[in-house]
Amino acid sequence: MDYSWLLIASILVFFMQAGFLCLESGQIRSKNSINVAAKNISDFIIAVLIYWVFGFALMFGDSLGGVLGTDLFFVGEQQSAYQISFFLFQMMFCGTAATLVSGAVAERMSFMGYLSIAAILSAFIYPVAGHWAWASNYQAANQGWLEQLGFIDFAGSTVVHSVGGWVALAAIIVIGPRIGRFDSQHALPSGSNLPMSLLGTLLIWLGWFGFNGGSTLVMNNQVPLILLNTCLAAVGGGFVASLCHYWHKRYVDVGTILNGIIAGLVAITAGCHAVTPKAAMLIGMIAGIILYFGRLWIAKLKIDDALGVVPVHLFAGIWGTLAVALFADLSVLGTDLTRSEQLFVQLIGVLVISAYSFGLSFLLLLLVNRFFPLRVSAENELLGMNISEHRASTELIDLLGAMNKQESEGKFSQPVTVEPFTEVGQIASQYNKVIKRVDSEISNRDSAINKYKSSEKRKSAILDSSMDSIVSIDLEGAIIEFNPAAERTFGYSKSMVINKNFIDLFILESDQAAVWKNLAYKFLSAQGLVRDHRNSLTLNRHLQSEFPAEITITGASFGSEIQNEFTLHIRDVTRQLKLQGKLKLLAYSDPLTGLYNRTYLMDSLTTAINRSADSDRDVVMFFLDLDRFKKINDTLGHKAGDELLCEVATRLISVTRNTDIIARWGGDEFVILFTEAVNQAFVDSKATEILKVMRQPLALEGRVISIPTSIGIATVQPGITTAEQLVQQADLAMYSAKQGGRDNYQIFKAEMGHQAARDFDHEQDMRKGIAAKDQFFMVYQPKVTADNQLVGLEALMRWQHPQEGLISPADFIPLAEESNLIIELSEFAILTVLEQIRRWLDSGYEDVTVAINITGKHLVSGTLVPYISELLTRFDIEGTAIEIEITEGVLLTDVDRCIEVMSDLKSLGIKISIDDFGTGYSSLSYLKRLPIDVLKIDKSFVDDCAISLEDGEICATIINLAINLELTTVAEGVETQEQLDFLVAHGCDTYQGYFFHKPNSAQVIEKLLQRVSTLV
């Protein structure tokens, strides 16, 4: 079967149709893929039909002058099997030539227009050019005119590929470029399915083995070399084309590789039977270069070749045809021409076929286009030719249509249809997610806009209803906003001030320069008006009326880093300042006396001390405390006490200057601060004057009293003394005055501070001593008759300090009273005395009465009577064994309460004695009511009773009073015979003092009791 190879080759070439279909469909946009595929299959149908009817006849029929054939129409009925196989092989070539045009004109030529091109090429161009070069392939003696010259195109670099390339070039010139092809801002996509294009290229490569190998017409020794050369040229073309693109663009382009392979195949087709493999590789590599730069050249000429058909098939085909003369073995060609002659003939063939193919196709296409437009409308081109030409859709087209509908209607709430398990379906699914998010964002945006509008309305309402003036100004000070409160505050309407300068209108002339400077620095300077702070400034109203204002400044940037305007929150603080003045007066004054209070005093003192450090002026403080004020307050009532404090304030004002500061420190304490013209003489004189005026009698609640006062004086040492230290020093000096007998003044000395510290230490030590129960003890001083007969004892407390030794009661008793330790000490004394009485009773010493001193605090505490009663029971002692001594001053606290407690003590059989009688404020009416048994004459009267008429009269009066009230009298501190004689002469009952006995321990007293018992 000498035709089997032709049949096999025909089938392989037919695979090229599938290859071109895959290649072109994959390299154009998906909206046109169906159209391109339909054109590929349709052009093959047209080509086969025309070629069968008359194309084969024109190409291989009996030659008419070597120009065209004249018979062999409707092939198949009279031909042999070989001839039919030859027809099938050539029919595939015709279909290949026709299908090349499809890739060039893709995406804008109408389907019917394309079929007209396929018909023109198959009927009038390809058969005629084929006759010129190949007519003898069917009948040996039937040569075309180019064949007669020696033109060689073995498998159709020019006859098939250049012819198809020239027709494609004519078509793309007639129909023009695709919309947006040469728009530098929007490059067209390179393809929709490159893997399909790769498959198509491999199918083309496979088919080309039949294309070139089958051109031998029989299986012979040339076929293997032809197939090798075909493969090497394809490899060389693809390799060099990709290198050129990488060198130019710096990345590998898949489309360039594919086109390079095909360009190599096209170029080797003309001489694959007559060149060496090396020459085949070189031909293919040069074809790759021609392809790459040819494509750049036609793009520069703005010729829109969609898939590079012209550089791949036309340019590479021309090069391959000319390369025959350059690289082929002339003996294999069998033309008996030299290489230059062969080149000349090859060039003639290329030029003639080119002129005929391009010229005729261009003219015919212009004619057809005039009556039947070859190009689709712009609308259909943008829509896609799948739909516009075939009403065919794809998943992607449907998706794009749904998206376009959403775009045109502006409705994004409805999702697009999703085809599962496809790439487009994945895109649609993701798109649905996007539009869902977009819809959500739009909803959020609309919500935000609505909220913003509502917020702006609220802000506007707040702005209008704000009680503060709100004024917005720009960087030049021009007024932008002026709310109703500002209109009321400044006396201008908004229309009167808008765009006018705020500084010129409302800032005082004296402040304008500074405010302009602040504005220039955007209110960020260190002085003057500062942003985000409360600034105080006096402003102008209408008619130049001034008012104090508080201004807070904020900046607004509107998304820019530069502050564009400023908002001034302005508050008229006229009323606030007046109120502050009143509050300051209340804050700095004492509500009872009207004097300054402690706060004002400390502020003034601090200021005065700071000034004294610079001016060397003396600052002197008088600290006054009213002596026994609490007793007067408790006795006469709080109202009387308040009247007394007001009187003190009046008297102090009367003896001070306007520059002096008088303040009530608290309770019955007053402070006077002197800062002007102060020296030592002034201090002594002023202190004496104050004491004198305070001693003046005062009628209060029906009684006439004086106001004895203790004054402590301290002077500032500039740079050393602080305000707190000065107060402390004056306070210490005042306490020194009290300890000095009250109603005097003392100037602070350093040792007073030491004494205060010592008193503090003693207070702490007393607490420890009470807890230890081994530091405090009792001594006893006998009370006797004039002939030294023992009638009783007085228990006196002593403190044996672990470091300082014996401390006088005069030192620690007052401390105990101040620190509330006195009740513990009193209970210790009662317990110790009763324990000792029990021991004496057990020793047989009966009728021993011991007097115990009790303070007023303990007397009215509520615990005294129960405590004594419990101890009397515990030790089985009669109440007549003890006597309770209280001072006369105790009676001034709460007479009724004192009488109640003393009556309870009396009910236990206990005697009551009034100690230090004559030194207090007791009245005879109180004395009559008291359930007392003994009056003790104070030692201060006894000391000079024998030599001082006044003291003697006092003692005699007290004795006579006691006799009249049937009370026993006891004289304290009898130390001389003269004192004893005077007291005896006036009828005193009992005596106590060093003239008879000193206070002694219980052991010594027990010996005295033994002697008394012996005498008895």
State the CATH number of the domain containing residue 307.
1.10.3430.10
Residue 720, classed as helix, strand or coil, is coil
717 and 770 housed in the same domain: no
Give the integer Cα–Cα distance in Å for 93 and 163: 12
621 and 716 housed in the same domain: yes
Give the integer Cα–Cα distance in Å for 161 and 655: 133
240 and 122 housed in the same domain: yes
Give the integer Cα–Cα distance in Å for 164 and 100: 6
Give the integer Cα–Cα distance in Å for 456 and 826: 80
Residue 184's pLDDT is what? 62
Asked, for residue 734, whether it belongs to a domain, the answer is: yes
CATH of the domain at 623: 3.30.70.270
Residue 921's pLDDT is what? 47
What are the structure tokens assigned to 341, written together? 């002659």
3-state secondary structure 169-198: HHHHHHHCCCCCCCCCCCCCCCCCCHHHHH
Asked, for residue 632, whether it belongs to a domain, the answer is: yes
218 and 71 housed in the same domain: yes
Residue 526's pLDDT is what? 72
86 φ, ψ to 5°? -60, -40
8 Å CB contact between 253 and 261? no
CA 858 remoteness from chain centre = 64
Give the integer Cα–Cα distance in Å for 462 and 456: 10
Residue 754's pLDDT is what? 64
Q: How far is CA 334 from CA 150, 317, 330, 831, in A?
A: 9, 22, 6, 158
Residue 934: name the closest of 999, 851, 868 by CA: 851
Q: How far is CA 147 from CA 63, 346, 401, in A?
A: 12, 10, 56
Out of 579, 605, 630, a domain closes at 579
Q: How far is CA 508 from CA 487, 569, 696, in A?
A: 18, 18, 58
Asked, for residue 87, whether it belongs to a domain, the answer is: yes
65 C-beta neighbours (distance < 10 Å), count: 7
Asked, for residue 209, whether it belongs to a domain, the answer is: yes
129 and 167 housed in the same domain: yes
592 and 572 housed in the same domain: no
User: DSSP of 526-573, one letter per residue?
Assistant: SSSS-TTSEEEEEEE-GGG-EEEEEEEEEEE-TTSSS--EEEEEEEE-
Asked, for residue 755, whether it belongs to a domain, the answer is: no
Give the integer Cα–Cα distance in Å for 218 and 197: 32
Domains of the chain: total: 5
Give the integer Cα–Cα distance in Å for 518 and 531: 10
Q: Which long-range contacts (CB under 8 A, 24 or more apart) does 138-145 make?
A: 138/60, 138/72, 138/83, 138/86, 139/60, 139/62, 142/60, 142/62, 142/63, 142/69, 143/63, 143/66, 144/63, 144/66, 144/67, 145/65, 145/66, 145/67
Out of 546, 579, 612, a domain closes at 579
Q: Is 646 exposed, middle or buried (0-12, 13-18, 19+ CB in 10 A)?
A: middle
CATH of the domain at 820: 3.20.20.450
Residue 117's pLDDT is what? 92
Q: Is 254 exposed, middle or buried (0-12, 13-18, 19+ CB in 10 A)?
A: middle
Give the chain's residues under pLDDT 70.
Answer: 1, 184-192, 393-397, 412-413, 421, 423, 452, 455-465, 556-563, 581, 583-586, 616, 753-757, 889-894, 918-926, 1013-1016
Residue 995's pLDDT is what? 92
Scan for tokens 């002058």, then name that residue. Answer: 65
Residue 567 bridge partners (DSSP): 472, 554
954 C-beta neighbours (distance < 10 Å), count: 20
User: DSSP of 39-51, one letter per residue?
Assistant: HHHHHHHHHHHHI
Neighbouring residues of 704: CB distance < 8 A, sequence distance ≥ 6: 697, 698
790 and 725 housed in the same domain: no
User: DSSP of 458-516, one letter per residue?
Assistant: HHHHHHHH-SSEEEEEETT-BEEEE-HHHHHHHS--HHHHTTSBHHHHHB-HHHHHHHH
642 and 735 housed in the same domain: yes
* Alpha helix (H) residue ranges in 843-975: 856-859, 864-875, 895-907, 924-929, 939-942, 949-964
290 and 148 housed in the same domain: yes
570 and 608 housed in the same domain: no
Asked, for residue 99, whether it belongs to a domain, the answer is: yes
Give the integer Cα–Cα distance in Å for 536 and 513: 16
Give the integer Cα–Cα distance in Å for 191 and 205: 20
CATH of the domain at 500: 3.30.450.20
Q: Domain span at residue 730?
A: 588-748
Give the integer Cα–Cα distance in Å for 188 and 193: 14
570 φ, ψ to 5°? -115, 130
Return the C-alpha torsion angle 96, 97, 103, 104, nearest 10: 170
What are the structure tokens assigned to 773, written together? 């129960």
691 and 783 housed in the same domain: no
Residue 121: name the closest of 77, 187, 188, 168 by CA: 168
> pLDDT for 948-968, tens place per residue?
888 889 899 889 988 988 899
Residue 464's pLDDT is what? 65
CA 310 remoteness from chain centre = 65
Residue 690: name the closest of 714, 668, 667, 707 by CA: 707
CA diameter of the chain: 195
Asked, for residue 321, whether it belongs to a domain, the answer is: yes
Give the integer Cα–Cα distance in Å for 47 and 17: 12
Asked, for residue 640, whether it belongs to a domain, the answer is: yes
> pLDDT for 436-476, tens place per residue?
787 777 778 877 777 767 766 666 666 666 778 888 898 88
Using a pLDDT cut of 70, give the percent of the chain over it. Answer: 92
Give the integer Cα–Cα distance in Å for 908 and 915: 20
8 Å CB contact between 171 and 105? yes
797 and 720 housed in the same domain: no
